[in-house]
Structure 1
Amino acid sequence: MAETSTSRSEAPDTGVYAIAEASGQQFWLQPNRYYDLDRLQAEVDATITLDNVLLVKDAKGTTLGKPFVKDASVELKVMAHRRGPKVIVYKMRPKKKTRRKNGHRQELTRVMVQSISVGGKAIS
């Protein structure tokens, strides 16, 4: 009896992505998607290049950096400067009549991933 195995490792996965460091955090970035990062000092419609790329996945395989992938970069286009949702901080000490209410909205920058490139060649 012939068996046909269709495991995940044999199926070709053409998803291109990169894991890059921006604003002190690491982000899973895919081309033609937008992301909200902490506020970046850039004008709207400006182009930003991230050089701290930790991992790149393309059709050929996965490249892992030690700590960064050599000659890899992610190109981002600034779409808008926004503010995140309001977070309420409420502190109360019971039986002391001490209450403090505070709100916070994080300043964000919405960016669109234009291209992921390794060694000067765009892979997406």
Structure 2
Amino acid sequence: MVYAVVRAGGRQEKVEVGSIITLDRVQAAEGESIELPAVLFVDGDTVTTEADALSKVKVTAEVQGNLRGPKIVIQKFKNKTGYKKRQGHRQELTRVKVTGIK
């Protein structure tokens, strides 16, 4: 079993070849290939965590498309002052498919 833990958008994701993950927006066109930095690499019983060895590990992924996350509503309210504030947010996301771990 071969898998890697990659750093993607401020988070760490466990990926295998063929897995589809959602990241924060990546500036790449659909169908384009990107490379993700590995923080851990597991190949059977061998676990690699050293920075020198991880610099040789390449995790490639293909961009499948851009999307937006669910809408989050932020409301602030202070009693007896007439202060109300409402704001929303939708995170920009990118869906990628891992194509190779070498």
> Does TM-score exceed 0.5, indicating one fold?
yes
Q: CA RMSD in A?
A: 1.6
Compute the displacement of 1:22 (Å): 2.2
For residues 116 and 67 of structure 1, the distance between their equivalents in structure 2, rounded to whole angstroms, comes to 17
User: In the alignment, which residue of structure 1 is the partner of 2:87?
Assistant: 102
Question: What's the secondary structure of 2:80's corresponding residue?
Answer: coil
Aligned AA for 1:114? T
| Aligned residue pair count | 102
Q: Provide the identity percentage.
A: 34
User: In the alignment, which residue of structure 2 is the partner of 1:57?
Assistant: 42
The equivalent position to 1:48 in structure 2, one of 34, 41, 44, is 34
For residues 22 and 102 of structure 1, the distance between their equivalents in structure 2, rounded to whole angstroms, comes to 27
2:70 pairs with 1:85: yes
Q: Radius of gyration: which is bigger? A: 1
User: In the alignment, which residue of structure 2 is the partner of 1:39?
Assistant: 25
Compute the displacement of 1:70 (Å): 2.8
Structure (1 or 2) with the greater strand fraction: 2
User: In the alignment, which residue of structure 2 is the partner of 1:70?
Assistant: 55
Compute the displacement of 1:75 (Å): 0.5
What 5-or-longer segments of structure 1 have no aligned partner? 1-13, 118-124
For residues 67 and 54 of structure 2, the distance between their equivalents in structure 1, rounded to whole angstroms, comes to 31
Q: More relative contact order in 1 or in 2 (CA 8 Å, sep 6+)? A: 2
Compute the displacement of 1:60 (Å): 4.0
- CA-to-aligned-CA distance 1:75-103 (integer Å, 9 cap, x gap): 00000100001111011111111111111
Aligned AA for 2:81? K
User: In the alignment, which residue of structure 2 is the partner of 1:111?
Assistant: 96
2:13 pairs with 1:27: yes
For residues 83 and 20 of structure 1, the distance between their equivalents in structure 2, rounded to whole angstroms, comes to 22
Taking a change above 3 Å as real, the CA distance of residues 107 and 68 of structure 1, as seen in their structure-2 partners, is farther
CA contact (8 A) 1:53 1:68 kept: no
What 5-or-longer segments of structure 2 have no aligned partner? none
